[in-house]
Amino acid sequence: MKSKNLYKYILGIADNSLILGQRMGELCGHGPSLETDIACTNISLDLFGQVRSYYQYAAKIAGDNRTEDDIAMLRKEREYVNVLLVEQPNTNFAYTMARQFLFDAYHLLFLQELEKSNDLTLSAIATKSIKEASYHQRFSSDWIKRLGDGTEESHQKMQEAINGLWTYTDELFHQTEADKAMVEQGVGVDVTKLKEVYYKQVGQILEGATLEIPESKWFQKGGKQGIHTEHLGYLLSDLQYMQRTYPNMSW
């Protein structure tokens, strides 16, 4: 039972970074400037590097001859358990940075706690990932401030992005049954305990960027149970194309 819950728990962590990594990778060649374009692509590569470690561990636990690539690329839409936030499209650059910022603030807090896990593999992955996640948070936070406290147009677009994405933030702190089981065993992170500090830190950045904190108390959920927005299917059609068109392909 532990191995089954651990497998599900790992997917719950890794799928977030996989899907967000794919979204950021879509910006390659489409950033507002060369420097920003490269930075966004590097964030994508960081996230893919992290998920490779997670999926390698998941494949080892599953013990059914699947590889890290099979787990990452060949599941059906309902088998992905990422939060809805990370699958939202790159509507414009403000939305892209707002989505990244709202996830980064959570991700760094999460990894700092995962580093304390009694599962040595997960702890090691977290330790390795914290430096990257810290950079991601600084990068996205700087853009929140730059656009929020910039021109009238950039301020408006960033406020619209924050307002539109805010509804997806509460799901970050929902627990699945696998989450609860792993917390009890000292393996997982109790994300409910991160909620207060998350909203405090996010609020401070938004206020510093002259942005209003959304007052809405209505939140979307479902991603952790495999119930996604229409956007994920289109994302997966790109992500999985090569693996499904040329099955068992090897270099």
- Model confidence pLDDT, tens digit, residues 30-71: 777 778 888 899 999 999 999 999 999 999 999 888 999 999
Residue 53 lies in a domain: yes
Residue 136 lies in a domain: yes
Please tell me the distance from the alpha carbon of residue 223 to that of residue 221, in angstroms, as a whole number.
6
**Full-model pTM:** 0.94
Count of the separate structural domains present in the chain: 1
Residue 161 lies in a domain: yes
For 134-190, what is each residue's pLDDT tens digit?
999 999 999 999 999 999 999 999 999 999 999 999 999 999 999 999 999 999 999
Please tell me the distance from the alpha carbon of residue 218 to that of residue 111, in angstroms, as a whole number.
27
- The angle subtended at Cα 152 by Cα 212 and Cα 147, nearest 5°, is 65
Residue 251 lies in a domain: no
Residue 49 lies in a domain: yes
84's CB contacts (< 8 A; 6+ apart) are: 168, 171, 220, 221, 222, 223, 228, 229
Please tell me the distance from the alpha carbon of residue 77 to that of residue 235, in angstroms, as a whole number.
10
Sign of dihedral through CA atoms 111, 115, 118, 119? positive
Residue 160 lies in a domain: yes
Residue 193 lies in a domain: yes
- Both structure tokens of 59: 């494949």
**What is the average pLDDT value for the chain, to the nearest integer?**
94
Please tell me the distance from the alpha carbon of residue 182 to that of residue 122, in angstroms, as a whole number.
12
User: What residue numbers bound the domain in which 95 lies?
Assistant: 2-245
The neighbour count for residue 244, using CB atoms within 10 Å, is 12
For 87-131, what is each residue's pLDDT tens digit?
999 999 999 999 999 999 999 999 999 999 999 999 999 999 999
User: Can you give the pLDDT at residue 65?
Assistant: 87
User: Can you give the pLDDT at residue 251?
Assistant: 56
User: Can you give the pLDDT at residue 34?
Assistant: 77
Q: Is 221 exposed, middle or buried (0-12, 13-18, 19+ CB in 10 A)?
A: middle
- Both structure tokens of 7: 């497998």
User: Can you give the pLDDT at residue 1?
Assistant: 59
Reference 113, options 102, 100, 127; nearest CA is 127
Residue 250 lies in a domain: no
User: Can you give the pLDDT at residue 110?
Assistant: 98
User: Can you give the pLDDT at residue 248?
Assistant: 76
Q: How confident is the model at residue 2 (pLDDT cuts 50, 70, 90)?
A: low
Identify the CATH number of the domain in which residue 57 sits. 1.20.1260.10
Please tell me the distance from the alpha carbon of residue 114 to that of residue 225, in angstroms, as a whole number.
22
What single string gives the DSSP state of each residue in 146-194? HHHTS-HHHHHHHHHHHHHHGGGSGGGG---HHHHHHHHTTSS--GGGG
> From residue 97, how far is each of 7, 53, 89, 184 by CA, in Å?
31, 25, 11, 35
